[in-house]
């Protein structure tokens, strides 16, 4: 029996991103005494001021998250221990299988907290996590210390179950973002169609394919590319292609609100937060078949990575601008519905 714990929950993680933004926002509303300590924050919109970073702050030179901003606070282990001793939470929630999670597992094993929950994003397609036996053993031990685990993908659920522990494992039914953090895209007053891409500019995200599509695309258009350039190829010099680089949260939101169509030809994607946030902003979304939508976003235009189908689709938006407006409004409505229906998985597991 631990007599020194304080009622309340502490969320610990060296890095959090937009995958869990909606969970944290709703969680704080229901549980005002929630404490959050992280080492890195990333995202397209500013995080709430009640989310506290540990360690001396500095910016990422190469952010993990798409194109927007990132704040990184490297945290010495002694500082994390001091926070645990100072807060003495009853319930610790950890994200991923990090060193912070292992510390929390030891904390639970020593009886210094009563409850431990584990969140895990899931695995990127094509990554074999079962090949490292030492990693498997450590993760099985950590999962066994938790009273429950919540993941965001079917593959993540299968992997956690394969570790062979009796810990209950829940999966969120879908990923959602808070649409009310985004200003709906304005009705275009110009004849120029604004296309927007937000993400790291690299082959994995299909940037080379996107440049090929737009290289000789006829019509009156502008393409805004938001994100760090990570390709060895030379940067495009096309007068209608604007390289925005890494933008602030406010700049990303502004670009989305000025756009009509979001283009996202990713070759490999676990969830696709960027197109979801673009849908929240009321943009039409054109993406590859590799971006999962779970069948929940019927108005996304999902195309094979072939130049001609993409050209035809984009030209269609230029000749029929009302179609982009209609699909964008439908996307915004869908995101509002999905966000309203999403429950905290440890409150009402599905």
Question: Which of residues 152, 172, 192 is at a domain's end?
Answer: 172
215 and 79, same structural domain?
no
Question: Which of residues 154, 172, 190 is at a domain's end?
Answer: 172
156 and 298, same structural domain?
no
Question: What length is written for the chain?
Answer: 350
Q: Specify if 52 maps to a domain.
A: yes
Write the pLDDT tens digit of every residue in 217-243.
999 999 999 988 989 888 999 999 999
Q: Specify if 343 maps to a domain.
A: no
Say which CATH number the domain at 309 has.
Answer: 3.40.50.2000
The C-alpha atoms of residue 263 and residue 252 are separated, in whole angstroms, by 15
pLDDT for residue 61 = 37
The two tokens of residue 256 are 């989305």
Q: Specify if 254 maps to a domain.
A: yes
Q: Specify if 333 maps to a domain.
A: yes
194 and 147, same structural domain?
no
236 and 134, same structural domain?
no
280 and 166, same structural domain?
no
pLDDT for residue 179 = 84
189 and 47, same structural domain?
no
Write the pLDDT tens digit of every residue in 286-336.
999 888 766 789 999 999 999 999 999 999 999 999 999 999 999 999 999
CB neighbours (10 Å) of residue 45? Answer: 18
Which domain covers residue 324, as residue numbers? 179-338
The C-alpha atoms of residue 96 and residue 186 are separated, in whole angstroms, by 38
Q: Specify if 344 maps to a domain.
A: no
Q: Which residues contact 169 (CB under 8 A, 6 or more apart)?
A: 148, 149, 150, 151, 157, 160, 161
129 and 207, same structural domain?
no
Total structural domains within the chain: 2
187 and 168, same structural domain?
no
307 and 229, same structural domain?
yes
163 and 194, same structural domain?
no
Q: Specify if 347 maps to a domain.
A: no
321 and 212, same structural domain?
yes
62 and 85, same structural domain?
yes
Question: Which parts of the chain have pLDDT scores under 70?
Answer: 1-7, 17-23, 26, 41-47, 55-74, 121-131, 153-154, 173-174, 187-189, 270-271, 293-294, 342-350
Q: Is 129 exposed, middle or buried (0-12, 13-18, 19+ CB in 10 A)?
A: middle
Q: Specify if 1 maps to a domain.
A: no
Question: Which of residues 140, 172, 204 is at a domain's end?
Answer: 172
Strand order across the beta sheet in which 40-43 lies:
40-43, 69-72, 58-59
Q: Specify if 345 maps to a domain.
A: no
Residue 53 backbone phi and psi in degrees, to 5: -95, 145
């Amino acid at each position: 029996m631990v007599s020194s714990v304080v009622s309340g929950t502490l969320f610990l993680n060296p890095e959090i991103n937009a995958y869990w933004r909606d969970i944290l926002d709703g969680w704080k509303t229901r549980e005002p005494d929630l404490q959050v300590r992280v080492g890195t924050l990333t995202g397209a919109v500013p995080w709430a001021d009640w989310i506290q970073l540990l360690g001396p702050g500095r910016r990422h030179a190469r952010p993990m998250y798409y194109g927007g901003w990132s704040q990184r606070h490297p945290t010495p282990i002694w500082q994390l221990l001091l926070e645990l001793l100072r807060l003495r939470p009853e319930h610790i929630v950890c994200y991923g299988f990090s060193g912070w999670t292992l510390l929390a597992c030891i904390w639970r094993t020593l009886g210094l907290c009563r409850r431990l929950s584990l969140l895990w994003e899931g695995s990127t397609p094509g990554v074999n996590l079962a090949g490292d036996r030492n990693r498997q053993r450590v993760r099985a031990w950590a999962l066994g210390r938790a009273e429950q685990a919540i993941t965001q993908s079917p593959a993540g659920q299968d992997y956690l179950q394969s570790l062979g522990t009796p810990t209950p494992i829940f999966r969120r039914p879908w990923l959602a973002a808070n649409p009310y953090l985004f200003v709906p895209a304005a009705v275009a007053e110009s004849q120029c169609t604004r296309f927007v891409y937000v993400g790291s500019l690299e082959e994995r995200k299909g940037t080379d394919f996107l440049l090929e599509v737009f290289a000789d695309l006829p019509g009156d258009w502008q393409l805004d590319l938001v994100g760090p350039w990570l390709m060895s190829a030379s940067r495009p010099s096309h007068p209608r292609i604007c390289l925005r680089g890494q933008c602030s949260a406010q700049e990303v939101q502004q670009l989305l609100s000025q756009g009509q169509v979001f283009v996202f030809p990713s070759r490999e994607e676990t969830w696709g937060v960027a197109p979801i946030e673009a849908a929240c902003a009321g943009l039409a979304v054109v993406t590859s078949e590799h971006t999962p939508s779970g069948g929940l976003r019927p108005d996304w235009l999902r195309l094979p990575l072939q130049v001609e189908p993409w050209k035809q689709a984009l030209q269609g938006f230029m000749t029929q601008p009302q179609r982009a407006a209609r699909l964008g409004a439908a996307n915004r409505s869908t995101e509002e519905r999905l966000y309203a229906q999403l429950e905290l998985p440890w409150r009402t597991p599905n």
